[in-house]
Amino acid sequence: MTSSEPSSQKFSETFGHTERDLRVPQPFESPLYISPPLLPDREEYFSSLKEIFSSRTLTNMGQFHKKLESGIAARIGFGHVSLWNNGTIALIGALSQLELKGEVIVTPYTFPATVHAIALLGLTPVFADIDPWDMTLSAASVSDRITRKTSGILGTHIYGQPCDTASLHQIGKDNSLRIIYDGAHSFGRHQPIFSDEPGALGDVTMLSFHATKLFHSVEGGALITEDLDLDKRFRLARNFGIKAEDDVEGVGLNGKMSELHAAMGVHVLDKIDAEIEKRALLADEYISRLTGINGIRIVAGQGPSRQYFVIRIDAKAFGSSRNELHLSLREMNIMSRRYFYPLCSDIDVYAHLPSAKNLPNAKQAAEECLVLPLNGIMDSNAVGRVCETIMWHRKKKVSQSFL
Ligand SMILES: *Cc1c(COP(=O)(O)O)cnc(C)c1O
């Protein structure tokens, strides 16, 4: 690493550092993203496109739609699965069929789509705090927020880590509330998230198949429910409420996935087990390098979904804030992401809500979590370089603080 010497020298001049092993890392030549889309075999996808051309069926639940819907259902193994054109529309469709009124208790520590789905239906989101350990909706905090106006609870299996579904199921039963899960991060190796434990799916669980997720169909999503009647309503809502040519039953939207998207999904589905295996090895490499470092807690990556590798930075113990580390990584072309910052409860449109205040665990998580690159097109050498950059950043900050 001779090319690093001039800057190394400059570094020790600036910071008076003499440690020999303090090598300045080299930036990645091209940006290292957290999860670039998993691509299918090009020829296989093109041959499916040829089929689509010959059939002239481009959408409206064609052959590829059917194939993908049944492929996903088979992988999950129970419940009724409907395929949608994206996760957000699927969630809006689901909520619209649950006859919710008034208030829906929701986690602030999620992607904005979770909360927007509630607001778009004219319902009031009520934020509850999260568990400080796994960062899913805290059942105790949910109980505190229940009022006579509450009609549902919406939790996110954040980073693929399951919510406390047993406690939420009980709360739902005791208070006659609908339970909905945003499982956008959960598809893949989904046990124990989608288990047949009572209430594990809630009334309905949404999945997202966006290009950034482990499994994707470019854009796409799904609903899983064990309630056959609800499943029928979801399918109607997905297609404008149209039951038959001359029979429109209820209010619906357009949630249909096109054949081009479904074909992508069919081929990507074949690839995800290999992708999960690759990610598991990389996650192990991260774990072995980052375990025991003061101020770093590994939050997700070992879990069932391998969707994200997430660390939490305790600024005091680590010697630097999460934001400073994030910037340092950016300088090295490592595109870590601050999921989920800002908190949904701090977004302008929701910050005025009374429940948006006093969410200390969520607030802290939003300041401390950092998602590191984890995907099958990187190798363990890249993981090593990311970890060395983290160590280098830490040493730099610690030595600065002694100046
Ligand atoms: C990606 C994501 C969504 C949105 O899904 P789309 O398919 O992009 O509409 C919703 N919730 C969470 C937690 C997500 O990560």
**CA nearest neighbour of 368 among 391, 395, 389, 338:** 338
pTM of the model: 0.93
**Least confidently predicted of 172-181, 265-274, 301-310:** 301-310
- With the most atoms of ligand 1 within 8 angstroms of its CB, the residue from 208, 212, 339, 343 to mutate is 208
For ligand 1, what atom is nearest to the CA of residue 87? Answer: 7
**CA nearest neighbour of 136 among 111, 107, 115:** 107
Question: How would you classify the pairing of strands 178-182 and 150-156?
Answer: parallel
Q: What is the pLDDT of residue 2?
A: 39
Q: Pick the residue whose CA is nearest to atom 5 on ligand 1.
A: 87
- Quote the tokens at residue 226: 């064990």
pLDDT tens, residue by residue, 72-124 = 999 988 899 999 999 999 999 999 999 999 999 999 999 999 999 999 999 99
Portion of the chain with pLDDT greater than 70, in percent: 91
Q: How far is the CA of 92 from the centre of ligand 1 (A)?
A: 12
Model confidence at 356, pLDDT cuts 50, 70, 90, reads: very high
d(CA 279, CA 291): 17
pLDDT tens, residue by residue, 293-302 = 999 999 876 6
Model confidence at 304, pLDDT cuts 50, 70, 90, reads: low
| Element housing 285 (H / E) | helix 272-290
Q: What is the pLDDT of residue 18?
A: 43
Cβ atoms within 10 Å, residue 112: 16
- With the most atoms of ligand 1 within 8 angstroms of its CB, the residue from 72, 86, 88 to mutate is 88
C-alpha 89, offset from chain centre: 16
Average pLDDT for 220-239:
97
Q: What is the pLDDT of residue 6?
A: 43
Secondary-structure breakdown of the chain: helix, strand, coil percentages, each rounded to the nearest 5 = 45, 15, 40
Q: What is the pLDDT of residue 11?
A: 44
